[in-house]
Amino acid sequence: MKLPPPPPHVELDLTPIPPAASPALVVLVSRTSAGEAARPDGLSERTLAQLHAATADGEFDARPGQLLLLHGTTSDGIRRTLLVGIGTGSTLAPETLRRAAAQATRRLRQAGIGDWHLRLPANLPASCPPDIAAQAITEGILLAGYAFTAYRSGADQARAAPLGAVTLWASDAAQAAAWRRGVVRGQTVGDAAWLARDLCHLPGNALTPQRFAEVALDIAQTSGLRAEVLATEELARLGMGGLLGVAAGSRDGPRLAILEHAPPGTERQRPIVLVGKTVTFDSGGISLKAALDMEQMKADMTGGAAVLAAMRAAARTGLPRRVVALLAIVENMPDASAMRPGDILRMASGATVEVLNTDAEGRLILADALHYARRFEPACVIDIATLTGASAVVFGSAFNALFSSAPAYAARMEQAGALSGERLWPMPLAQAYAERLHSEVADLRNVAGPQGAMLVAAAFLQQFAAGMPWLHLDIYNTCWNTEAHPYLPKGATGAGTRLLTQFLLDLPADDPAGP
């Protein structure tokens, strides 16, 4: 399967000379303590005069996200100048810059402009140094420039100008190394997000379990990752009743894809193991979902897509840390041979599970993958899954849930969430939730009613991660957008991709945090 092309590269221009004859220049404008737009250095007299007039008329005061598009060619040959407010400079945060760059990208694309320059801000506060600022801006541009057009044809293919040549310009090159480091990081994260979104947007008839496994192998081969895929016969030998049971109603058998990044000298490290729920389409099985919005269930493999994209980023950047990925790949369909409510599955761990709801399938396949992770003696195992609709009730789309038995790694993941804009909220793991999983006929049951459903699901997974440092990320509530966001499209968002990529990029080679 041929995936859509990756995003263009954002370039960096470190010269004191303004860009010549650019179709548009984006200027990030901060706000003074008096509540007025500041006067950025390096702009033409004409642009400064227009800014002054807009400020005097109360049309622009540089509040975060405020836009003002100025027309007319300046003496520098710039045809349009887009001013974007970023608020008070002393409180500037990476998310503000990410959103500002994204809003500029969306506005210019709507105006039919794909090629442009952005002036990097000067006098950054300590809370947002140049490398972090450049990364956030680059991410904002790439994330907002994304469009899935693989199935559009003719004139309908481009509903807005495609993202073209975007150059970041800084008149002061004193921070050149930091700017470059940030742009490279931002490009890495943006590339990962585009890959994950492309995978999540592919329909279920195109991205079957077999084809997802093939994509994983192709990416591994081109990125220098070691990889193998276990299919039905091998999974049966391993006793993976969760994977086999969920896949029983599909024409495509289950797969477990194993990818490994182990640069020379890291082969003996205890790895970070990433486990991704990869349900290429989830009908709910016999416990059939409602028809309304079921098409969104092609994105029920977002966890696996995020893991695969983060692994490619780790390989491409030469991450000096051993990382293993496990992708539990299935399709959940209501065939005559499908798993039924009341069935009992024997998992790879030997535990038996009474299936009360076939739509609670993600935890069944993750249970087998978590058990398989033990053979790697991981420093930490991290599963990520579109696991429970209850997460949307609790958080809306503002946060993702974080469950943890590894405090040091949880702290690192929260930091990655703050930097990436994919914020996390720590949730409890309590015996009271595990007790609700008691079954009269098996070791466990897979659901326990609607109350505390997100926490009960995490307690189920905890039974299979016991004894390992473990994090669980529930991303169901952020995997699909019904409305456009400054840098998240309608439809599949690729949730968790930026979070995992940031987490991996920030891992120290010797991992002093330990388990």
- The pLDDT assigned to 512 comes to 53
C-alpha to C-alpha distance for 51 and 60, rounded to whole angstroms: 8
Strand partners, 404: 471
- The pLDDT assigned to 515 comes to 40
- The pLDDT assigned to 364 comes to 98
pTM for the structure as a whole: 0.96
- The pLDDT assigned to 123 comes to 84
- The pLDDT assigned to 279 comes to 98
* Angle ∠(76,11,129) on CA atoms, nearest 5: 95
- The pLDDT assigned to 160 comes to 80
- The pLDDT assigned to 513 comes to 46
Beta-carbon contacts of residue 126 (< 8 Å; ≥ 6 apart): none
β-strands 226-230, 166-169 pairing: unpaired
Mean per-residue pLDDT pooled into runs of 10, the chain (515 residues):
86 84 90 81 81 88 92 77 90 94 96 93 90 97 95 69 92 87 97 98 97 98 98 98 98 98 94 98 98 96 98 97 98 97 98 98 98 98 97 95 98 98 97 97 96 97 98 98 92 97 91 50
DSSP-H helix ranges across 111-225: 130-144, 176-201, 209-223
- The pLDDT assigned to 158 comes to 56
Catalytic residue numbers? 289, 363
* Angle ∠(158,159,162) on CA atoms, nearest 5: 50
Give which of 501, 497, 487 is closest to 102, Cα–Cα: 487
- The pLDDT assigned to 37 comes to 86
Count the helix, strand and coil residues of the chain and give each as a percent rounded to the nearest 5: 35, 20, 45
C-alpha to C-alpha distance for 232 and 221, rounded to whole angstroms: 23
The Cα-based distances of 94 to 91, 207, 332, 373 in angstroms read 10, 35, 39, 35
C-alpha to C-alpha distance for 217 and 140, rounded to whole angstroms: 29
Are the beta carbons of 328 and 316 closer than 8 angstroms? no
Are the beta carbons of 103 and 144 closer than 8 angstroms? yes
